[in-house]
Structure formats: structure tokens, C-alpha cells
Structure 1
Amino acid sequence: MRDEGFREFVTSCAPALSRTAYLLTGDHHLAEDLLQSALANCHRHWRRIRHDNPAAYVRRAMHREHISWWRRRRPPERLLGVPDPDRAAPGDLAEQATLRLTMTGALAVLTPRQRAVVVLRFYDDLTEAETARVLGCTVGTVKRHGHDALARLRAHLPGAFAEHTEVPS
């Protein structure tokens, strides 16, 4: 049966994969489209990938699809200034909104490859080797994109990195 275990995989990994998709796209609706596309691809190949690391397969599929969208220069469909009530959490909503907008804006200044490295390394907490596997590149490329991304983020958000003044090499 093709679906054996797929439903459980999606149920257990969907929140983390959805977060990754959002961080890659910067838009909730595009993130849903991106994740759905990647999961459809994963479902087609489930027999082959289910015993490996299907989450890495989906992350790689999302990364490739996002790059494909970026290359086609698909204009993002956004409703600016409209809050997403489904994402509201208890606490200081103004502070959460400010942080979310700051991070979304900061990630937007990165190239798609730099954004993918930052999301996979710091949000999904993958190692450099795991990130390289997901992106289909070398560890050195991951380090280079990570270095460039952090330098760009430091320039974009000068006060956010006050504790760490040196860019790691």
C-alpha cells in the first residue's frame, strides 16, 4: 500500500515543515502551496523514501520548488497589513508581530540560497552536513552562504547582533 505511514509522517512533521516553508517564502499562503507541492512529490515516491529520511526529502523538494518559483519571478500574492488570526498566540501580540515582521523583512534581503541555509541551519537546527545534503551542495558552499547571509543580516539589522561583533569564518 502506497500510503502506509505517509499519513503519520505528515501528521508528525507538518508543523516543522510548515514553518520551514513559511521562512522560505515569507508568506503563509505561498508556504502552504510550497509544502503541499513538496508533500505531493513525497507521496509519489513514498515507497522509496519512507525508510530513509522523508523530512529531508520534503525540505529539499521545498527548496527546489522555491528556487523554481523565484527563477520564474512569480509575483507574491500578499495582503499587506492584514493579520493572520489563525497564528495569534497568547502574550504580547504587538511584540510578536514586530518580531515576525522584523524576521520576515530580514530574510527577504537574502538570496534564496542564503535564506535556505539560514532556515535549515538555525530554524530547523540541521548540521552543516545535513543542510548540504538537503540543498544538494557541499559543506563548504553551506558555510559560504551562511557566512554571507549572516553578514547581510548584520548589515540589515545592526542592533540585533550586538553581542557577536565578528562574522564567523
Structure 2
Amino acid sequence: MAIIRTAIPSLITAIRVLLLLPVWILLSHGRHDIAAAILLAVMGITDFLDGYVARRTGAVTTFGKIFDPLSDRVVLIVVAIAALLDHLVPTWLLVIVLLREILVGITVLADLLIHRHRNDVVWIGKAGTFGLLLGFPLVVLGDGLHQPIVKETAVALMTLAVVLLYVALVFYALNFARTAHPEELP
């Protein structure tokens, strides 16, 4: 029974990743409609839900601590590329989102491989990820319903989210440096 309990949060995370295919299909075929926005919103909800369920049921695992943020990276990269190809948000915004995701991936992977240390997710990074996962469905919805105010609000939210994500990147980089030279940093 404990195995099933600990598997549920990872199953929720896996659903988020599996939803990428229908979202990609909808977005790549120019379908900025309610279906794509709903699937993106469900993906955002699963990002909150997997961690919530894991903490509430005592099912936090090392696998989940790695699988959830890795899934976030994959989801954000794929959705950002789909949005970039479909011109849903400004190119500059998506480029800095993609750059940040690549930098975080390199930092986290280097820390794991070089120092055998896994970075814990920082709250500000979760807030930034939430902002992007909220912004993407709103931008799709605003575009599909031809509501520029919804789309502009979503872009503003996503811009703020990216700022938070870069602050989180600084924390990850500092943690990497601290792990490399613990005697030199406070």
C-alpha cells in the first residue's frame, strides 16, 4: 500500500508530461482555443497538486524531488517552443525563458554530477514556474478569443514570472558555488 501511496504524486507529475503531446498538437496546428488553454491549465494544476499530495500523504520521495522539477523544465521548454513557433508571446520573452531553463538544467545537472548534490527547489522558483504555467493558458485563451487585454495581462504575468525564475537561478548558482567551496561562503 505504501508503494501505491508514494507513486500517486509521481503519477500526477507524469500526467503533466503526457499532456504535452495533445497541447503541442493543438498549438502547432494553430488551434488557440479553449481546449489548448484547458489542457495547459490542467498541467499547471498538476504542478501544484503533485507536491501537495506528496506532502499531505507523507509520500515525498527522492525520485519525486527530481522528477517534478525535471518535468517542469521539460514542460516549460516544450510549451515555450510551441508558443514561439506560433507567435503567441513576444520572442524576447520566450528566448529568456528558454535560456533560463537551459541554465537551470546545466546548473542542477553539474551540481548533481560534480558534487553529488541535489538542489532543492526554492520557493521563488516555484512561484515563477506557477506564473508561467498560469500565463501560458491565459495567452492561448486571449489569442483564441481575440481578447488582447487577456493576452497582454498574461504577457505581463509571464514577464514577472521570468524575473522570479532568474532570481531562483541565482540561488541555484550560489548553492552550486557553496557546495564546491563550503569554507569560502557563508
Q: TM-score normalised to the size of structure 1?
A: 0.36
Q: TM-score normalised to the size of structure 2?
A: 0.34
Which of the pair has the greater relative contact order for Cα pairs under 8 Å at 6+ separation? 2
Larger relative helix fraction: 2
